[in-house]
Amino acid sequence: MRQLALDALELAKGRGVQYADVRVVESETQDLSTRNGRVSQVTGSDSTGIGIRILAEGAWGFAATDDLSRDGIDKAVFKARAIAKASAMAKLGDVVLAPEQSWTAEWDSPCAVDPFRISVQKKLDYLLKVDEALRSNKAVTLTETSFHGTRTRQWFANSEGSVIGQTRTVTGAGCACYVFKDGDLQKRSYPNSFGGQYQLKGWELIDEIDMLRRAPSLAEEAAMLHAADPCPAGEHPLILDSSQLGLQIHESIGHPIELDRVLGSEANYAGMSFLTLDQLRRLRYGSPMVHVVSDATIAHGPGLGTFAFDDEGVPAQRTDIIREGLFTGYLTSRESAGAIGENRSNGCMRAADWDRLPLIRMTNTSLEPGAQTLDEVFDVPHGIYMETNKSWSIDDKRYNFQFGCEAAWEIRDGRRVRMLKNPVYSGISTEFWNVCEAIANRDHWTLWGVPNCGKGQPEQVMGTGHGASPSRFRGIQTGAL
Amino acid sequence: MIDESNARAWFDWALHEARKHGVGDVEMSLHASESALTRFANNTIHQNVSDESGAASIRVAIGKRTARVSTNRLDEASLRRATAQAIDLARANEEDPGLPPMAPPEAIAPGERWDAETAALSAEARAGAVREAIGAIGGSAAGIYSNERSTQFLLNSNGVFARHDETGATFSVTATASDSSGWAKASAVRAGDIDTLALARSASEKAALSKAPRRMDPGVYRVILEPAAVLDLVGQIFGDCSATALDEERSFLNGRFDERIFGSNITIRDDVRHPLQDGAPFDGEGVARRALTLFENGYPREMPYSRSAALRAGRPATGHGYALPNDVGESPVNVVIEGGSSTMPELMAKLGRGILVTRLWYIREVDPFRKVMTGMTRDGTFFVDGGEIQHGVRNFRFNVSVVDLLNAVEAMTAPGRASGEESFDMVVPAMLVGEFPFTEVTMF
């Protein structure tokens, strides 16, 4: 693969380019799932291809192919060069890249137990046991369990001399149960909804999340939701579990700080951002206890946004996004960094696969742990605690959001006193973060994986990481839908 | 691109490999495509891409056990390896008593979905159209112009051999002014059917009409949903229109199948042969797609049945199943909502006083049984009075039951092909809805 990348780069350099980079990517995946005690999916796949990005005549061209013969790659190089020429037909100025030194490196993500070495039989046996445990509650009408494993090997080379190999192993798993009764469908999921937890780990993740232990109480909660009262409407202190807060960070901080979105690149599709350039280092984006970072380094943890180098060959970095409540940073690329006066990208260009162009994407956008114990976070005379995302929606500039959760509880004097169903909460991004009044400490901090973040045209689905611990927000609009 | 002779040769390799392992039931789907997309923003092309790929997906069945392995390495050794891997996975799998045997062959008329000019549309031609569109927009233009050609085959050891060739093009444009925006989009099998300049002018006009948007209070309004808004919202129900979803009690139709569930003016069909539709005339197992009347005058009528669901129910499959094994069973994918006879100006006149919605955004399900969806308006939301646009309004959040919505449709235009971002392309009308609940207002 390394030699293939270098050979393709030489072909590109021979086409009269200002800059070129190539990525050869090889991936393998496995997906297993069960429904109602039966195996529903047993699939594997592999994919290999090359993406070639060329800057010529001041404009970009990109072509990708899975024909890895010399002719196939030469044809793709020719096409990328021709596309750059066509792009120049409608350009206002030349693309300028922030400088970056050349790197030679190889990096493998940590993986204690290779998920591809665990037999399919063992994985299915485990999922079926979890499925059975969920169905031990007779009220349950549908159960789901799933396992996902991906290994991606990539070689990157660019015309400035960088040659970088990276291998990333991702494991994900989750379970869910539904109870349909009297025209009402309730659901509980663990450890998170929409597929569970995903991290840059191996099979050890499955041991850590221990779905089998949680399954009986999860099913009981799904059944109990039918008898629960609707979440009351009004303004309340709101406590969010760390998984829901992870998605709140993703939508109301992570997307607005993407500098390409701010500059208008996504105006037709994913939208723009309220974080216009004049807000940098001026906007009060949170209460003084709110510290948010974008951190792709392994020191931050095994998140879906963890790597050694981004897909422009820029090393993983940690950037302050919100420091003591003040907005301090965007996610940038080599092309966009200059727009905010930076002379270097902070390393956020990521491509979903060999056939996709790198875009500015979240890495791990995380809320730093606070100083409170969990008891202190819950210590309110009266409030609402919500857990596990059910629905999420935010406007195309990322101001107005509404989230629904699977379950909620009324809190009286720091204790859960009754379960509540169909909870939703809504607000405006900056107003929400400005009323953050308690953040649990590192003992309760989890680095959640969001495996399904969509952006770009053609759409790219990317995994991002979000660290959070349970936190409390003052005077949030809640209700039931 | 894959042709018939290499499709047959590759299948033979897989079948031979399977028989070496004592396995006779093999299914292979092949897909090859070449697609290109020119993306522009801030009045310049900023991304411009092309990709070419092919892939084989091999399923084996060993008695009642099955598994699938996919690869984009299409040489003999790789296809044999993928087949062997599928056999290993199937042997490790549990038995599924409901697994149907490989589908039998049937005569399937080809779909007419190929246009040579669209297949050959060049980067220069796309850039030229983009440059012209940018020139037609007063403010800042952003959007895409894409084209694609694809070929797929489905073969199995029972004699199924199905082929589908298709082209497609999409043009989408957003015009942004200082405090407003407008949007337009179209897709078609033939790029020549898309008037890119007219779309750009429409987006530009909407941006101009919605300048200086005023805040209106949230509440229940009379609303016109343009076709893209209709498909993005109504499109959220079709995953439930499935025999498997009903079996698993995860459909909003559970317990309501004999009721009139929508207004008597709502008839929805699934018809792959509709002239404005796209897609293959066969499903993931090679079964011919039958036309279905999903809802007739508001009543649920015919649901899609995959072969597995059909086996359970003792009835014929309808040709809407996904490739096995899968988690969802089947669903409609060629939706046609019968409209009415109103023109758009007539719809505006009937609206009287209300809101005109161009496009919706970030739609998510809040309640799965009542089909309550939340989302936002975007890129052209207007206050209408006396049948005329009065001014733009700040974008609203809605929380609306699609069931309630389809009971409140007062008038419709004739249906046309529409394209949004939250659901798949459909043939739908614009709808005048008597009651539509907007629950919040955003900042712009």
Indicate which of A255, A402, A424, A455 best probes the interface with B, i.e. most B CBs within 10 Å of its own CB: A402
| pLDDT tens per residue across span A294-324 | 999 999 999 999 999 999 999 999 999 999 9
For B358-375, the pLDDT digits (tens) are: 999 999 999 999 999 999
Residue B164 and residue B152 in contact, taking contact as beta carbons nearer than 8 Å: yes
For B85, nearest residue in chain A (alpha carbons): A44
By C-alpha distance, which of A325, A424, A199, A30 is closest to B397?
Answer: A424
Q: Residue A143: list chain B partners with CB under 8 A.
A: none
Smallest Cα distance from B20 to chain A, Å: 21
pLDDT tens, residue by residue, B201-225: 999 999 999 999 999 999 999 999 9
Tokens at B393, concatenated: 């309004």
Q: Chain A residue closest to B59 (CA)?
A: A43
User: What are the structural domains of chain B?
Assistant: 4-193 (3.30.2290.10), 213-444 (no CATH)
Contact status of A93 with chain B (Cβ, < 8 Å): yes
Report the pLDDT value the prediction gives residue B294, as an integer from 0 to 100. Answer: 98
- Per-residue DSSP letter, A252: I
Token pair for A367: 């809320």
Residue A416's pLDDT is what? 97
Is residue B438 within 8 A of residue B225, CB to CB? The reply is no
With beta carbons under 8 A apart, name residues in chain A contacting B51. 51, 63-65, 355-356
Give the Cα separation of A71 and A33 in Å (integer): 40
Tokens describing residue A371? 């100083």
Is there a contact between A426 and A402 (Cβ–Cβ < 8 Å)? yes
Q: What is the pLDDT of residue B215?
A: 98
Please give the domain boundaries of chain A with CATH numbers for all domains.
2-225 (3.30.2290.10), 229-480 (no CATH)
Each residue of B39-83: pLDDT tens digit?
999 999 999 999 999 999 999 999 999 999 999 999 999 999 999
Tokens 């997307």 sit at which residue? A255
**Facing residues of A51 across strands?**
A23, A64
Q: Do A425 and B397 touch, CB atoms closer than 8 A?
A: no
pLDDT at B1 over 80: no
Ordered DSSP codes for B9-27 = HHHHHHHHHHHHTT--EEE
Alpha-carbon distances of A334 from A100, A345, A412, rounded to whole Å: 8, 5, 51
Contact B281, B267 (CB under 8 A): no
- A49 shares contact with chain B (CB less than 8 Å): yes
pLDDT in tens, chain A (481 residues): 999 999 999 999 999 999 999 999 999 999 999 999 999 999 999 999 999 999 999 999 999 999 999 999 999 999 999 999 999 999 999 999 999 999 999 999 999 999 999 999 999 999 999 999 999 999 999 999 999 999 999 999 999 999 999 999 999 999 999 999 998 999 999 999 999 999 999 999 999 999 999 999 999 999 999 999 999 999 999 999 999 999 999 999 999 999 999 999 999 999 999 999 999 999 999 999 999 999 999 999 999 999 999 999 999 999 999 999 999 999 999 999 999 999 999 999 999 999 999 999 999 999 999 999 999 999 999 999 999 999 999 999 999 999 999 999 999 999 999 999 999 999 999 999 999 999 999 999 999 999 999 999 999 999 999 999 999 999 999 999 9
* DSSP codes joined into one string, A407-431: EEEEEETTEEEEEEESEEEEEEHHH
d(CA B93, CA B86): 10
Say if the Cβ atoms of A62 and B364 lie within 8 Å. Answer: no
The closest CB to that of B51, out of A63, A264, A395, belongs to: A63
The torsion angles phi and psi of A198, rounded to 5 degrees, stand at: -130, 130
Both tokens of B236, joined, read 């959220």
- For A142-166, write each residue's pLDDT tens digit: 999 999 999 999 999 999 999 999 9
Q: How far apart are CA A453 and CA A441, in angstroms?
A: 27
Q: What is the predicted pLDDT for the residue at B138?
A: 85
A 257-276 residues with CB < 8 A to B = 263-269, 271, 274
CA distance A169 to A30: 12
**Distance from C-alpha of A298 to C-alpha of A296, rounded to nearest angstrom:** 7
In sequence order, what E strands does A57-103 have? 59-65
Q: Which residue blocks in B93-212 are alpha helix, DSSP H?
A: 116-119, 123-136, 196-209
ipTM of the prediction: 0.95
CB contact under 8 A, A39 and B378: no
Strand partners, B163: B153
B52 CB neighbours in chain A (<8 A) are 63-67, 76
